[in-house]
C-alpha cells in the first residue's frame, strides 16, 4: 500500500545508496586532496637537520619521530613535530 510504503521508506532514509555514496566520496576526496598538497622541497633536509640537533641531546629513533607540514584554511601553515621520548633521555 502506497501510504504504508511512504512511511516505511522515510524510516529507511539513513541507509540509502546515495548516503553511502556520499560517505565514500568524502573519504576518498579528503584522502586524495591530502596527498595532492605536496610537501615542500626543503622538508627532507629540514627533517635531517632537526634530527641531528635532537640527537646531540636525546636518543631518537627514526620510528619515534615524525614531521608534518599542514596547510590549514587561509594562509596558515603548521609545522608539526612528533617526538616520542623513551626512558633513558641522555646519549652520554
From 7, 8, 11, 24, residue interacting with other proteins (rule: CB under 8 A): 24
| Contact of 35 with 68, CB cutoff 8 Å | no
Q: Is residue 6 part of the contact set for other proteins (CB under 8 A)? A: yes
Q: Which is nearer to other proteins, 2 or 78 (CB)?
A: 2
d(CA 79, CA 83): 13
Alpha-carbon torsion angle 38, 39, 44, 48, nearest 10: -160
Greatest pairwise CA separation for the chain in angstroms: 81
Q: Which is nearer to other proteins, 55 or 71 (CB)?
A: 71
d(CA 29, CA 3): 39
Q: Which residues within the stretch 27-66 sit at the binding site for other proteins (CB under 8 A)?
A: 28-29, 32-33, 36
Binding site for other proteins (CB under 8 A): 1-3, 5-6, 9, 12-13, 16-19, 21-22, 24-26, 28-29, 32-33, 36
Amino acid at each position: 500500500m502506497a501510504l504504508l510504503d511512504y512511511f516505511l521508506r522515510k524510516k529507511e532514509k539513513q541507509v540509502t545508496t546515495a548516503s553511502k555514496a556520499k560517505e565514500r566520496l568524502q573519504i576518498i576526496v579528503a584522502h586524495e586532496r591530502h596527498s595532492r598538497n605536496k610537501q615542500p622541497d626543503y622538508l627532507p633536509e629540514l627533517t635531517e637537520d632537526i634530527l641531528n640537533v635532537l640527537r646531540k641531546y636525546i636518543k631518537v629513533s627514526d620510528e619515534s619521530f615524525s614531521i608534518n607540514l599542514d596547510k590549514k584554511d587561509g594562509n596558515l601553515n603548521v609545522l608539526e613535530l612528533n617526538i616520542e621520548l623513551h626512558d633513558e633521555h641522555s646519549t652520554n
